[in-house]
Amino acid sequence: MKSKGILFILLATFSFALMNVLAKYLSGFHPMQVVFFRALGTFVFIFPFMIYKKIPILGQYRKLLLFRSVAGLISLATFFMAIQRIPLGSAISIRYLGPIFGAFLAYLFLKEKVNIWQWLSFLFSFTGVLVLKGFDVRIDYYSLFLCMNSALFVGMVFVLIRYLVSREHYLTIINHFMVVCIAGSLLFINYWRWPLGQELMAVLSIGVLGMIGQIFMTRAFELEETSVLAPFKYMELVYALILGLILFDESYTFIAFIGILMIILGMIANVYFKKKNKITQVSKLNN
């Protein structure tokens, strides 16, 4: 089971990396048009499946589902805006700060405990962002704001999904997100243009890759513990760095690369210390 879960997480991260590459390739399009195709490509597959399997479309916790979807839309839109402006690897690295915001919000609203070592790991990762920004002149302050904003709303999504996942079918949660993305992106339709040539294949593929990534990610976490899979989640960044170099000629200075590494190590350390804290709590209860 363990090897299968790891295989699925690697396939998921590769799918997401390809999706992000296509989003950057479509830099000539309005970011909300890219959001539209990302959402539509998933919606057209999962909605008929939900009807066939009689999975609830609206769900019971509709306000929270809407809140999760709007937070996801803002996170996705600002992320796509960022990767159109700065190197792909940089945008993904900064967005990885999402768990920091998620942990803080979970501490406030779900009363989840965060130990001192987790806070230190968060500080280490945030310092990595400062190193990356300070030594990569391609990252302007507006792009940094977009990435941090995306990370903040990713954190909100983490907390809301954590609450909803035991109360709603996971496809109901995803479908709400896709519908809100489609509806929200249509508000900007005056800024759209028709895709030409290879662009058409890109816009058709971006949603399919996103859907494949979500399916494999869900299956991975069904088969294996988060603590085992978390380090492999960062393979998305490795793929992005390689593809960014090959396709967009994106390279990094040694110091900027150290910043990226600090972000990843801090997030992995958070998972380790969180798991260790749970083991300690269980041990205390059994004594």
Q: Supply the pLDDT for residue 285.
A: 46
Q: How confident is the model at residue 1 (pLDDT cuts 50, 70, 90)?
A: very low
The structure's pTM equals 0.89
Q: Supply the pLDDT for residue 89.
A: 93
Counting residues of the chain whose pLDDT is more than 90, the rounded percentage is 66
pLDDT (tens digit per residue) in 85-110: 999 999 999 999 998 898 888 888 87
pLDDT (tens digit per residue) in 237-270: 999 999 999 999 999 999 999 999 999 999 888 8
Angle, alpha carbons 18-149-116 (nearest 5°): 100
Q: What is the mean pLDDT of residues 27-44?
A: 94
Alpha carbon distances (Å) from 39 to 33, 59, 208: 10, 19, 9
Taking the alpha carbons of 65, 67, 68, 74 in that order, is the dihedral positive or negative? positive
| Other residues' Cβ atoms within 10 Å of the Cβ of residue 135 | 16
pLDDT (tens digit per residue) in 198-252: 999 999 899 999 989 888 887 787 777 666 777 788 888 999 999 999 999 999 9
CA atoms in the 13 A half-sphere facing the CB of 160? 21
The single-letter DSSP state of residue 107 is: I
Angle, alpha carbons 167-226-110 (nearest 5°): 45
pLDDT (tens digit per residue) in 136-179: 989 999 999 999 999 999 999 988 988 898 899 989 999 999 99
